[in-house]
Structure formats: C-alpha cells, structure tokens
Amino acid sequence: MVRPAACLFDLDGLLLDTEPLHAEAWQQASSHFGRPLAAHELLALRGRRRHDCADQVLQWISNGGASAAPNRETLLAVRQPIAEALLIHAAPMPGAAELVEHCQALGIPMALATSSSKAAVALKASPHPWLSAIRVRVHGDDPLLRRGKPAPDVFLLAAERLGVDPRQCWAFEDSPAGVQAARAAGCRVHVLPPDHLSSEQRQELYPETERFLSSLEEIVGELQ
C-alpha cells in the first residue's frame, strides 16, 4: 500500500466518541424551546461548526411555530453547559489512539481538521494525551477558515499547513458533511459511518463510497 503524504483527521465521531453527546446536548437545548429533534435532523448536524448547527436548529424551531423563538446566543447559552458537562467524558473511538500512534511511529505527518472550536478541542482532548501527537490543527473558529464543512476549506488549510498536496492525503471522516468536504478538497477519504445506520442509509448518505470502515483498527493493520 502506498503511504499517504499526510493523514487528516476529523475529531468528533472519528477519533473521539462525542457525537451521541453532541446530539444529546442539541436535543436538550432544542427541546427546551419546545422543538424536539428527529434522528435524521440530529444526523444532519454531525460534522458542522457550532454556529452553523445553531442556525439550523433555530430554523427548525422557528418553522415549528414557536411563539418566541430564541436567538443564537440564547440557544447556545442553554446548549453549551450541557455539552461541556457531557464531552469531558468522551471515550476514544476503537483504534483511534493506535492509529495516531502508528502514524507517528511511521513518520506520517498528521493534522486535525475539525469543526470544533479551539476551546472545545482543548476540553475534549484533555483526558487523551495521545492526541498531542497531532500538532497541526485547524479548528472551526480558525481565523483563516472562511467556510465550514461541507466546504473543503478545513482540509485544504490543513494540507497547506503541512506543506503537502491535499490530493496525496488520506482524510478520515464520519459525517456526510465531512466526507463531502474531504472529497471536494481532493483527498482520498476513509469513511467511518455511525454504526446504527443500515447499508441502505449508508449508501444514501455517503454516495459513491466503495468501502466503509467498521473501525480505525482496520487502517492500523493495513498501513505499513
């Protein structure tokens, strides 16, 4: 197997098992304003920046006929304490630490390409010292990041900071928005979908994906 020029990693739902926790926080916040979220709506929020998610939830609340829909700041004031209390307990995804350590041992450059803010990444990463091996990071609130996923900007900026061609990079993603972003950047994309999706749902949400990973452990075994 030809080694990639670099590995570009998403964080939430890919390296850390945070997505159910994010979903719970959005569910509680939206329900607080009288608009519970459906499973497909929660899935649509995966991989996107916090403010982009908030704007989408606000639209759903408004469309639901709320008499006094909140603004972004009010919604996030409810959501953020819930999220922070949950996310500090996020566990690594199976094989995540091993893959990062394996790439480090092989000398493969790595970058984090995440929609999470710098402060949120620091919170979630604090119990996981193995993440310190990924020194190059593009956060959702990076001042040079113009657009969030599904736009390709986060992966293009990560590759630029590593000094590599994004077309020679492997990108690891779990969300439809993230997969779309990585593909638009020209990366070879490895998709780790949520395990509750059926094969039909996977094909619908991740079109043109020839192979789905069941665990990052698969890549550890293949990358030599």
Cα–Cα distance for residue pair 181/8, rounded to 1 Å: 12
Tokens of 181: 């972003």
The phi, psi pair for 137, rounded to 5°, reads -140, 140
Q: Using CB atoms within 10 A of its CB, is residue 6 exposed (0-12), middle (13-18) or buried (19+)? A: buried
Is 142 designated active site? Answer: no
Is 174 designated active site? Answer: no
Q: Which uninterrupted H or E stretch holds 222? A: helix 217-222
In whole angstroms, what separates CA 57 from the centre of its chain?
18
> Given 10, 52, 153, 174, which residue is catalytic?
10
Helices (H), 107-188: 118-125, 153-162, 176-184
DSSP result, 7-47: EEE--BTTTB--HHHHHHHHHHHHHHTT-PPPHHHHHHHTT
Nearest to 29 by CA among 3, 67, 65, 60: 60
DSSP 8-state assignment for residue 62: H
Cα–Cα distance for residue pair 185/144, rounded to 1 Å: 16
Which residues are marked as active site? 10, 12
